[in-house]
C-alpha cells in the first residue's frame, strides 16, 4: 500500500473510534423515538461534515483522481473494512451503497450534463440515489429476465414496470434513480437492456411501500417497492448507448462486490472482538466462558475464517486493479460466495456467546446478522455466483 493509503487507513480508524461508535446510540434513538422513522438523524449530517472537513470523503473512487482519493481497489479495501464495523460507518465518509456504484457509473459513462446535475451533488453528499433493477414478477438474479420497458417516443423515453427491493429509495434525500429496463426485447440477449436516469419526483413514479428485512423497515435508508407508470424522461437521461445496460451493470458490480465483502469482514471482525470481551466477562458452571473448550474453538474458527476471507478479497481487489471486471470475475465470484456466509456464521457465534442479549438491540449483532444475510442476495444470490464460478472452473480444467 502507498503511504497515502496507509495514512488514510489510520485516519479512518481514528475517526471510527472517536466519532462513529459513539454516535450509533443517538442515531438509532432518533429513528425509534423521533416520531418520524424516515427523517434523517441529525448526528449523521454532523458526522459527514466532520469527515469532509478532515478530507475523509469519497475514498472509494478508484481511477478517478478528479473526484475522489484516487486509491486503488486494493488500497481502499482496508478502509471499507473499517467502515463496515458500524452500520452507519460508510455513509459518514460518503462511501455507502448504492451511491458508490451509481457515482462510479456516472463518472465512467455519464455525459457532462448528467455529471453536473447528478454526480456532483452525490459527490458533495447533498443528495442520495437508488439503483432500480430487481423486479417482483421475474427472477432478477438473471438480469436478462427484467421486463420493465423503456420505449422511445420522440425526444422522450416512456418507462413502465414494477421494481422492488430498491435500496435507499424511501430515504427523503434520495432524488435520482438509475433504472435498468429493456429498450429492445428483440436484440441479442445481453443487448436488450439499457440504464436511464429517473428523478424521483417524475410524474408516474409511485413508492408503494417499504420492504421489511426480518420485520425491520431498515429506516431511514430502507428498501422500496416502486411502480413506474407511463414515466417520461428526456432522451438525454439515457446512460451510455441503448443496449449497453448489461455491460454497464457488470462494470458497476466488480468494485461494489469488493466493497460489500470488505464491509462484511469488518462487521465480522467487530463481532469477534465483542465475543471475546463477552466470554472473558461472564461466568457459567464455575468458570469463565472463555475457559470453555467449545467457546475457544468457535473463536479460533472465526479468526481463521475472517482472515481467509480478508486475504481472498484483497486478492480480488488486486486482480481488479491489474485488469478489468472480466479478468477478475472468477475471484470476485469466490469472495461473494465466501464473505457473506462467513460473516453470517461468525456473527451467529457471537450472538450465541452473548445469550439472549445477542438477539436484542443492546448490541449491534442482530442488525449485523440481518445485514450479512441480506448481502447473500444483494448483487446476486449465492447460487448465481456458484454456478458462474463452477462453469468457469470446468472450462479451465475440464479439457
Q: What is the pLDDT along the chain (399 residues), one digit of tens a residue?
A: 789 999 999 999 999 999 999 999 999 999 999 999 999 999 999 999 999 999 999 999 766 667 767 899 999 999 999 999 999 999 999 999 999 999 999 999 999 999 999 999 999 999 999 999 999 999 988 889 999 999 999 999 999 999 999 999 999 999 999 999 999 999 999 999 999 999 999 999 999 999 999 999 999 999 999 999 999 999 999 999 999 999 998 877 778 889 999 999 999 999 999 999 999 999 999 999 999 999 999 999 999 999 999 999 999 999 999 988 788 999 999 999 999 999 999 999 999 999 999 999 999 999 999 999 999 998 889 999 999 999 999 999 998
Pair type for strands 174-182 and 193-199: antiparallel
Q: Which of 174, 235, 232, 180 is nearest to 205 (CA)?
A: 232
**How high is the pLDDT of residue 250?**
80
Handedness of CA 55, 57, 60, 62 (dihedral sign): negative
Compute the distance between CA of residue 310 and CA of residue 258 in angstroms, rounded to an integer.
10
SS3 of residue 326 by DSSP: helix
User: 129-239, which class in CATH?
Assistant: mainly beta
- Assessment of whether the complete model's pTM goes beyond 0.75: yes
Q: Which of 211, 154, 8 is nearest to 95 (CA)?
A: 8
Task: Dig out the grid coordinates for 161 from the structure.
Answer: 414496470
CATH code that applies to domain 3-110: 1.10.540.10
Compute the distance between CA of residue 150 and CA of residue 368 in angstroms, rounded to an integer.
37
Compute the distance between CA of residue 206 and CA of residue 189 in angstroms, rounded to an integer.
29
Bridge partners of residue 194, in order along the sequence: 181
Task: Dig out the grid coordinates for 38 from the structure.
Answer: 424516515
> How many Cβ atoms from other residues are within 10 Å of residue 198's Cβ?
24
Domain assignments of the chain as residue spans, ordered by start: 3-110, 129-239, 246-397
Q: 103 Cβ partners below 8 Å, 6+ apart?
A: 58, 61, 67, 119, 122, 123
To the question of domain 246-397 being in CATH 1.20.140.10, the answer is yes
Cα Rg of the chain (Å, integer): 21
**How high is the pLDDT of residue 126?**
97
Instruction: Tell me if the bond preceding 120 is cis, omega within 30° of 0.
Output: no
**How high is the pLDDT of residue 65?**
64
Q: Which of 63, 163, 85, 38 is nearest to 367 (CA)?
A: 85
Are 163 and 117 in contact by the 8 Å Cβ rule? The answer is no
**How high is the pLDDT of residue 62?**
66
Amino acid at each position: 500500500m502507498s503511504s497515502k493509503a496507509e495514512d488514510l487507513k489510520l485516519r479512518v480508524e481514528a475517526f471510527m473510534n472517536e466519532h462513529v461508535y459513539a454516535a450509533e446510540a443517538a442515531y438509532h434513538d432518533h429513528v425509534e423515538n423521533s416520531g418520524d422513522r424516515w427523517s434523517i438523524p441529525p448526528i449523521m449530517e454532523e458526522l459527514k461534515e466532520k469527515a469532509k472537513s478532515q478530507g475523509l470523503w469519497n475514498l472509494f473512487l478508484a481511477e478517478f483522481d478528479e473526484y475522489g482519493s484516487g486509491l486503488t481497489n486494493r488500497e481502499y479495501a482496508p478502509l471499507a473494512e473499517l467502515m463496515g464495523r458500524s452500520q452507519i460507518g460508510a455513509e459518514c465518509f460518503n462511501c455507502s451503497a448504492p451511491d458508490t456504484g451509481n457515482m462510479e457509473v456516472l463518472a465512467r459513462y455519464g455525459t457532462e450534463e448528467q455529471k453536473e446535475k447528478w454526480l456532483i451533488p452525490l459527490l458533495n453528499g447533498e443528495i442520495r440515489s437508488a439503483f432500480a433493477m430487481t423486479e417482483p414478477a421475474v427472477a432478477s438474479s438473471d438480469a436478462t429476465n427484467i421486463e420493465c420497458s423503456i420505449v422511445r417516443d420522440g425526444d422522450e423515453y416512456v418507462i413502465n414496470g414494477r421494481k422492488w427491493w430498491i435500496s435507499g429509495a424511501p430515504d427523503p434525500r434520495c432524488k435520482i434513480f438509475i433504472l435498468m429496463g429493456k429498450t429492445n426485447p428483440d436484440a441479442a440477449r445481453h443487448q436488450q437492456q439499457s440504464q436511464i436516469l429517473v428523478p424521483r419526483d417524475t410524474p408516474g413514479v409511485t413508492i408503494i411501500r417499504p420492504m421489511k428485512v426480518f420485520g425491520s423497515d431498515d429506516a431511514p435508508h430502507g428498501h422500496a417497492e416502486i411502480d413506474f407508470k407511463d414515466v417520461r424522461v428526456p432522451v438525454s437521461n439515457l446512460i451510455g448507448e441503448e443496449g449497453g445496460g448489461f455491460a454497464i451493470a457488470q462494470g458497476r458490480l466488480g468494485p461494489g462486490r469488493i466493497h460489500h465483502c470488505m464491509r462484511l469482514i469488518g462487521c465480522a471482525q467487530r463481532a469477534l472482538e465483542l465475543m471475546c470481551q463477552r466470554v472473558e466477562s461472564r461466568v457459567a458452571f464455575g468458570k469463565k466462558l472463555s475457559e470453555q473448550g467449545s467457546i475457544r474453538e468457535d473463536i479460533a474458527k472465526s479468526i481463521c475464517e475472517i482472515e481467509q476471507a480478508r486475504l481472498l478479497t484483497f486478492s480480488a481487489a488486486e486482480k481488479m486493479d491489474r485488469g478489468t471486471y472480466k479478468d477478475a470475475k472468477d475471484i470476485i465470484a469466490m469472495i461473494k460466495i465466501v464473505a457473506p456466509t462467513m460473516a453470517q456464521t461468525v456473527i451467529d457465534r457471537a450472538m450465541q456467546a452473548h445469550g439472549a442479549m445477542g438477539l436484542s438491540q443492546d448490541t449491534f449483532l442482530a442488525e449485523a446478522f440481518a445485514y450479512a444475510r441480506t448481502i447473500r442476495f444483494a448483487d446476486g444470490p449465492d447460487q448465481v455466483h456458484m454456478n458462474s464460478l463452477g462453469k468457469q472452473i470446468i472450462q479451465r480444467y475440464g479439457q
